């Protein structure tokens, strides 16, 4: 990953818990980093820029209205994130890794969880979905159920009904799931949603809050 926004200067990252924040399709790391202050103060937050150019913005993989995808592209993007994660964890000695993804960023976050479930301490998915893929499904259910908060508006029109139903079933079968619904939010982020995400992470991640 070539472009990353950090919440802390380099000399303050060592030994802290890392919160990896993944933006949605047609966005970038700057819009995700705008929410650093809403996250628990003990974290070092890192917002990555996705690799695919989307008319001047960015995405993790090509996506259509039906949320169809090229799995090879998904795996390539996920492998890039994991390689980056290995490098920064070795450099800074992060005490744990948690992940938060919005929209397509939730699809990427859950893909990371599926590929390396023991890497993630806790996860938050905001207005997003889980990819339906038979290759990944062959290794499931996951051996470890990571605490997972799925926050969404049930009437979100961007995530189609079939994708939402599959996501609900997958999360229930593979994670220690909590669900928070926000009527009227649509496909957006909202202050009360972010506060709930921060509270969830504080409960489930040691050192997330400075006290």
Looking at residue 190, which CATH number applies to its domain? 3.40.50.1820
- Torsion, CA 98, CA 39, CA 46, CA 91, rounded to 10: -60
Residue 43 within a domain: yes
Q: Cα(159)–Cα(138) distance, rounded to whole angstroms?
A: 24
- Residue whose token pair is 């599959």: 166
Structural Rg of the chain based on CA atoms: 16
pLDDT value, residue 138: 85
Asked whether residue 92 is assigned to any structural domain, the reply reads yes
Identify the pLDDT of residue 166: 96
Both tokens of residue 35? 């929410």
Any domain includes 182: yes
Full domain range(s) for residue 63: 4-203
The secondary structure element, H or E, covering residue 96 is: strand 96-102
Domain membership of residue 136 (yes or no) is yes
pLDDT at 135: 84
CB 30 within 8 A of CB 58: no
- pLDDT of 105: 97
Determine, yes or no, domain membership for 19: yes
In-domain check, residue 211? no
Question: Structurally, how many domains does the chain consist of?
Answer: 1
User: What stretches in the chain show pLDDT beneath 70?
Assistant: 1, 65, 211
On whether residue 38 sits in a domain, the answer given is yes
pTM of the model: 0.95
Secondary structure (DSSP) of 22-50: E--TTB-HHHHHTTGGGS-TTPEEEEEPP
Distance CA 167, CA 7 (A): 30
């Amino acid at each position: 990953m070539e472009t990353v926004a950090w919440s802390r200067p380099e000399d303050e990252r060592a030994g802290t818990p890392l919160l990896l924040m993944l933006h949605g399709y047609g966005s970038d790391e700057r819009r995700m980093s705008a929410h650093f202050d809403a996250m628990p103060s003990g974290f070092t937050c890192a917002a990555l820029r996705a690799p695919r150019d989307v008319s001047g913005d960015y995405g993790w993989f090509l996506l259509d209205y039906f949320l169809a995808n090229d799995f090879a592209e998904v795996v390539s993007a996920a492998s890039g994130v994991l390689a980056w994660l290995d490098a920064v964890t070795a450099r800074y000695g992060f005490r744990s890794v948690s992940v938060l993804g919005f929209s397509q960023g939730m699809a990427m976050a859950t893909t990371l969880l599926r590929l390396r479930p023991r890497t993630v301490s806790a996860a938050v998915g905001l207005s997003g979905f889980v990819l339906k893929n038979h290759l990944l499904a062959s290794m499931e259910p996951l051996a470890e159920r990571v605490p997972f908060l799925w926050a969404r508006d049930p009437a979100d029109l961007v995530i189609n009904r079939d994708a939402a139903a599959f996501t609900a079933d997958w999360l229930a079968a593979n994670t220690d799931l909590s669900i928070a619904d926000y009527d009227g939010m649509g496909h957006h982020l909202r202050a009360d949603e972010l506060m709930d995400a921060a509270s969830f992470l504080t409960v489930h991640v040691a050192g997330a809050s400075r006290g």
